[in-house]
Amino acid sequence: MIERATDLHSLIKNIHNIKLIGDDNPTITGITHDSRQVRYGNIFCAINGESFNGNEFISEAISNGAVAVLTERYHNFGIPTIITPNVRRAMGRLTAKFYDNPCNSMKVFGITGTKGKTTISYILYKSLNDSIGRVALSSTVGRYFGDYYEYSFRTTPESTILIPFIAYALDKGSEYAVIEISSHGLAQDRVSGIELDIAIFTNLYPEHLEFHKDIERYFKAKSKILNIIKPGGKIIIDIDNQWSARLYNMAKGISHIKTIGVSSEPGTEVKMVLPSDEKSQKTIEITSDRYTISLRSPLMSAFNAENIGLSAIALIELGMDSNIVKEQIERAEAPPGRMEEIKLGQPFRVIIDYAHTPESLRFLLTELRHQIKKGRLITVFGATGLRFKSKRPVMGRIIAELSDRFIITTDDPYGEEPDKIAKDVLNGVDEKNRDKAETVLDRGEAIKKALTEARRGDMVVIAGKGHERFIVYDDKKVPFNDRDYAEKTIKEILNR
């Protein structure tokens, strides 16, 4: 993105926990973890993944022009070798230094938690962009800056992708960056080299345990966000969740961080009262010693209210005037693929949503049931392959209980048979709800069937993939987007 160059010895100076083997001092023109992307003058970082060992690609990287290697074990590659016990951590620090530590020259938000990360990130991005301009966003829905957009296959990319993007935005005049930070990103040090002015911790529920193994390790990974907050920075925590309350107590013990607890009960730094039920006024009341604000939003729902409130608090803590915050929040937009509605004049509603876990599906479908006055709730859903196996029948049961009709289809099978995944989902459906269910493995055909069956007053929910633009199999990625396919099908129906 930005052309830079420095010599190797200058770059590694004062980087902790590394050792250089080799006397050469080549000019460094970039840093990458992808051997296919190596260009002459690059450092190749031999990171390990769940299914690969980066050391196996060192020869390819050298053939492509690598002039130094970062790895955890020494071999005589014939070029300078940087040895470190944690390649990703050192990679982030080297990349940040190579790009002159861009986070030091910007106000940086970082958002983590089980639910709400993407929505809060997008609300902050849109609010800052519309009021101030030139804001960088890195999130599940992609990397945005001005007219620049790049699709993201991961919520939090490797530091060799994330830091150059932030440096590019800074170079183009950005003063703010918003980063969605996953537990995988924290556990794997993908945010090494990132420093936050304001961190937000939303909540924690038992998810991603196929990676973290248990909720205690999941919490430990999430709590690593405390390690990347700048001296004098702030962390905003909604402590009405038990794990969030635990993090709050941890953060209070760190002297250089200002901890802002948010609760519906008095006694914390900020009191946030959310709408009590779907029939109440859709207003959030936020009060502290320094400000009071009432918020309404077109995004208001039972599961979005917390996200809206935390976004507002973060903007105020940044220093934005509360009246401007109110104005921005009350016209906020949902991120792509999050409760995204398609309106093409059809007599039924169509919602695209990323919900793909038991909790998110229950929140989504419960909220949408409240919105249906007459008509049926028709759900299209497929579980992901190679993960969440124990949750497939749970999700099947939730969808069956809350839908009038549902079609089980394919999500990302990876290396698993789609038919096996669908049967696992169906196993959670009891006999009384079996007649609601149908399996259509072709995702496009499943969407088409649901939309063709829909009648006036019905609502079709296409869940699981949201904004995503590919179906991922074991050996290939097939282009597919729920919204694009649904729009095409609706137009065909309307033109009959």
Q: Look at residue 208 and tell me whether its pLDDT is greater than 80.
A: no
* Contact indicator for 218, 206 with CB cutoff of 8 Å: yes
Confidence of residue 1 (pLDDT cuts 50, 70, 90): confident
The reply to whether CATH 3.90.190.20 applies to domain 340-494 is: yes
Helix 242-252 / helix 215-223 crossing angle, nearest 10 deg: 40
Over range 179-199, report the average pLDDT: 97
Q: CATH number of the domain at 6-98, please?
A: 3.40.1390.10
pLDDT value at residue 209? 65
Domain limits, CATH 3.40.1190.10, in the chain? 102-329
Which whole number is the average pLDDT over 416-429?
Answer: 96
| Rounded-to-integer distance, Cα 194 and Cα 7, Å | 22
Nearest to 15 by CA among 79, 74, 92: 92
Q: Examine the pLDDT at 316 and tell me if it is beyond 60.
A: yes
Q: What's the rounded mean pLDDT across residues 260-285?
A: 79
Instruction: Provide DSSP, 3-40.
Output: ---EEHHHHHTT-TT-EEESS--PEE-EEES-GGG--T
Length of the chain: 496
CATH topology of domain 102-329: UDP-N-acetylmuramoyl-L-alanine:D-glutamate ligase (3.40.1190)
Task: State pLDDT tens for residues 45-81.
Answer: 999 887 789 999 999 999 999 999 999 998 888 999 9
Mean pLDDT in the chain?
A: 93
pLDDT tens string 226-246: 999 999 999 999 998 889 999
pLDDT at 225: 97
- Residue 271 in this model has a pLDDT that exceeds 70: yes
CB-CB neighbours of 165 under 10 Å: 24
pLDDT at residue 279 is higher than 70: no
Domain(s) labelled CATH 3.40.1390.10 in the chain stretch across: 6-98
CA 278, 284, 285, 287 torsion-angle sign: positive
pLDDT band at 292 (very low <50, low <70, confident <90, very high): very high
Distances (CA, A) of 396 to 358, 388, 392: 9, 12, 6
pLDDT at 124 over 60: yes
How confident is the model over 394-410, as a mean pLDDT? 97
- The answer on pLDDT for 280 being more than 50 is no
What pLDDT sits at residue 278? 52
For residue 496, the model assigns a pLDDT of 73
- Within the chain, all domains assigned CATH 3.90.190.20 are found at 340-494
User: Model confidence over 105-120: pLDDT tens digits?
Assistant: 999 999 999 989 999 9
- pLDDT in the model for residue 277: 57
- Taken in order 461, 464, 470, 475, the sign of the CA dihedral is negative
Per-residue pLDDT at 276: 66
pLDDT per residue over 425-473, tens digit each? 999 999 999 999 999 999 999 999 999 999 999 999 999 999 999 999 9
pLDDT at 207 over 90: no
pLDDT in tens, 23-45: 999 999 999 999 999 999 999 99
